[in-house]
């Protein structure tokens, strides 16, 4: 039945003049960074006049005509300061350094937050980039403490880090594919301290996720629920995808990025092979549009009348640049270039519009009717990171 559905979707895409063939394009990194800097300047100006009472620390989206900020404990809170660090990294302009320091400092207390698995996003995208660029020992301490906090969510029997504490009526010990992105914080903590316990937790989580999250075609479930007493899998389903068995686009991107990063940190070829197979699933998928910007879920029957997800494309492009180095596969780099070129051409907002976010057309949580076809801060973060990575070498990754 699934094969029939895929064939029907492929035929529909052909009728609409869309194929999965992409042609490599050149990207103008300097031009795109110049635009990003201008748009971020506008956003900083807007933030000066925005109400930040109630602990609001950073922008998340522009939805229904409203500029929306989040508290420090929101999983997206570290991306804006990360963008500011990227702009400083590229331009070496002290104005970006000062702003990056200001917005990073707002997240300091999150290093003690044991109620979330997203400390990698929150702390490593902010303090992690700050430490990498400046060597600030204060940032180093925050990274280590955050890794300690994250480690408290690890269950030895299940071998994984718990993702969510909410919806206990639905899940017992849920682990989402997104959690692969938080492992980099643990790898860094081992590098900084020499304490291998962080490394071992990260590897255990990656190994169990590799076994339990993936279909034979290398698409991923969104949520796997474990029994914390026995370690057995209770159920596999989705929260943000179209259906339990569908391939949620951003989830596939998280896996691609996460396992590429895990290969960098461990040199375990199983991770490299999995990352390559995830890439194969993405780019051989008959519902992937010609511009390589996926629909929010590869199995949405509404395709081609379904929303896109520029955030999934940005994450994928960033991962592909790194994967191209380990795989010695020029096709990965060409596809990443194509994604960035198409984001620049058709998904970039006009200056001083779109809430002053960079990219249009991301999808956050469609089943919840939340953040559909809007700008989202993490799309911008991975877009800028991908631009930086397009110029990086193997030596650059070795030092991350």
Residue 241 inside a domain? The answer is no
Domain-located, residue 148 = no
Average pLDDT over residues 333-355: 97
From 89, 178, 299, 300, the catalytic residue: 178
pLDDT grade for 13, boundaries at 50, 70 and 90: very low
Please give the full DSSP string across 151-196, using - where no structure is assigned: HTTEETTTTEE----S-TTT-SSEEEGGGGGGHHHHHHHHHHH--H
Mean pLDDT confidence for 306-320: 98
382 within domain boundaries: yes
Asked whether 312 and 48 are in contact (CB, 8 A), the reply is no
Render pLDDT for 366-387 as a digit per residue (tens, 0 to 9).
Answer: 999 999 999 999 999 999 999 9
Work out the pLDDT band at 399, boundaries 50, 70, 90.
low
- Identify the pLDDT of residue 376: 98
344 is catalytic: no
Question: What does the pLDDT read at residue 328?
Answer: 81
Coil, helix or strand at residue 371: strand
Region of residue 154 (left: phi > 0; alpha: psi -120 to 50; beta: else): beta
Q: Is residue 95 part of a domain?
A: no
Residues 6+ apart with CB under 8 A from 108: 142
In the numeric block, the tokens 């590897």 are attached to 203
* Selected residue with higher pLDDT from 246 and 328: 246
Confidence class for position 11, pLDDT limits 50, 70, 90 = very low
Q: Is 134 exposed, middle or buried (0-12, 13-18, 19+ CB in 10 A)?
A: middle
Which band of pLDDT confidence, cut at 50, 70 and 90, is reported for residue 22?
A: very low
- Tell me how crowded residue 35 is: count the other CB atoms within 10 A of its CB: 16
Residues 6+ apart with CB under 8 A from 286: 6, 7, 9, 10, 13, 20
- Asked if the structure places residue 327 within a domain, the reply is yes
Beta bridge partners of 308: 295
Q: Which two tokens stand for residue 249?
A: 């686009």
Whether residue 301 lies inside any domain: the answer is yes
* Residue 178 designated active-site: yes
Q: Is the pLDDT of residue 143 over 90?
A: yes
End-to-end C-alpha distance for the chain, whole angstroms: 44
> Is 250 one of the annotated binding-site residues?
yes
pLDDT at 181 over 50: yes
Paired residues of 61 in beta bridges:
68, 376
Q: How far apart are CA 277 and CA 274, in angstroms?
A: 5
Strands across the sheet containing 223-226: 174-176, 223-226, 233-237
Write the DSSP string, 70-103: EETTSTTTTHHHHHHHHHHHHH--HHHHHHHHHH
Among the listed residues 166, 178, 171, 72, the one whose alpha carbon sits nearest the alpha carbon of residue 127? 72
As beta bridge partners, residue 67 has 62
167-175 mean pLDDT = 96
> Where residue 198 falls among pLDDT bands split at 50, 70, 90?
very high
Handedness of CA 101, 133, 143, 206 (dihedral sign): positive
- Of the residues 74, 89, 118, 309, only one is catalytic, namely 118
Q: What percent of the chain has pLDDT over 70?
A: 93
Q: Does the annotation list 316 as a binding residue?
A: no
Residue 285 has pLDDT above 70, yes or no: yes
Question: If phi over 0 gives left and psi between -120 and 50 gives alpha, with beta otherwise, what is residue 356?
Answer: left
Tell me what pLDDT residue 394 has. 86
pLDDT exceeds cutoff 50 at 246: yes
| 118 labelled ligand-binding | yes
Q: What is the pLDDT of residue 53?
A: 87
What is the DSSP code (8-state) at residue 128? I
pLDDT of 7 > 90? The answer is: no
Residues 32-48: tens digit of each pLDDT? 999 999 999 999 999 99
Q: How many domains does the chain have?
A: 1
Asked if pLDDT for residue 4 goes beyond 60, the answer is no
Model confidence at 14: pLDDT above 60: no
pTM for this structure?
0.94
| 167-202 burial code (b ≥16 CB/10 A, e <16) | eeeebebbbbbbbbbbbbbbbbbbeeeeeeebbebb
Q: Give the model's pLDDT for residue 26.
A: 81
Q: Does the structure show a pLDDT above 60 at 62?
A: yes
| Residues spanned by the domain of 393 | 1-49+282-400
Mean pLDDT, the chain, integer? 93
Residue 178, annotated as binding a ligand: yes
Percent of the chain beyond pLDDT 90?
90
The reply to whether 245 falls in a domain is no
- Convert the pLDDT of each residue in 85-107 to its tens digit: 999 999 999 999 999 999 999 99
For residue 287, give the CATH number of its domain: 1.50.10.10
The pLDDT of residue 15: 34
Tell me, yes or no, whether 294 lies in a domain.
yes
Please give the structure tokens belonging to residue 181: 């992105």
Say yes or no to pLDDT of 12 above 60. no
């Amino acid at each position: 039945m699934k094969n029939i559905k895929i064939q029907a979707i492929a035929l529909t895409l052909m009728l609409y003049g869309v194929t999965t063939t992409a042609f490599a394009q050149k990207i103008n990194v300097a031009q795109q960074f110049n635009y990003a800097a201008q748009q971020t300047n506008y956003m900083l100006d807007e933030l000066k006049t925005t109400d930040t009472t109630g602990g609001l620390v950073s922008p998340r989206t522009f939805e229904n005509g409203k500029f929306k900020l989040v508290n420090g404990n929101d999983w997206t809170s570290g991306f804006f300061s990360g963008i500011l660090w990227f702009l400083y990294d590229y331009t070496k302009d002290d104005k970006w350094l000062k702003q990056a320091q200001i917005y990073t400092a707002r997240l300091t207390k999150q290093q003690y937050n044991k109620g979330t698995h997203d400390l990698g996003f929150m702390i490593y995208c902010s303090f992690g980039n700050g430490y990498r660029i400046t060597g600030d020992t204060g940032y180093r301490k925050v990274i280590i403490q955050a890794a300690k906090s994250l480690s408290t969510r690890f269950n030895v029997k299940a071998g994984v880090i718990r993702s969510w504490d909410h919806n206990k009526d639905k899940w017992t010990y849920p682990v989402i594919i997104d959690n692969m992105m938080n492992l980099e914080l643990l790898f860094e903590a081992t590098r900084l301290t020499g304490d291998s316990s962080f490394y071992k937790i990260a590897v255990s989580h990656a190994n169990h996720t590799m076994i339990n999250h993936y279909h034979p075609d290398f698409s991923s479930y969104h949520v796997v629920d474990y029994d914390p007493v026995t370690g057995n899998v209770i159920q596999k389903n989705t929260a943000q995808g179209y259906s339990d068995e569908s391939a949620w686009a951003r989830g596939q991107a998280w896996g691609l990025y996460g396992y590429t990063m895990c290969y960098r940190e461990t040199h375990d070829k199983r991770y490299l092979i999995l990352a390559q197979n995830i890439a194969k699933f993405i780019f051989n998928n008959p519902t992937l549009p010609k511009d390589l910007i996926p629909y929010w879920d590869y199995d949405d029957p509404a395709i081609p009348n379904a929303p896109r997800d520029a955030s999934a494309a940005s994450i994928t492009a960033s991962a592909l640049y790194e994967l191209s180095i380990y795989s010695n596969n020029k096709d990965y780099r060409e596809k990443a270039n194509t994604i960035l070129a198409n984001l620049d051409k058709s998904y970039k907002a006009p200056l001083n519009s779109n809430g002053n976010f960079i990219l249009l057309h991301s999808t956050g949580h469609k089943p919840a009717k939340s953040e559909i076809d809007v700008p989202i801060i993490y799309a911008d973060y991975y877009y800028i990171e991908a631009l930086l990575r397009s110029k990086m070498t193997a030596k650059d990754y070795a030092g991350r």
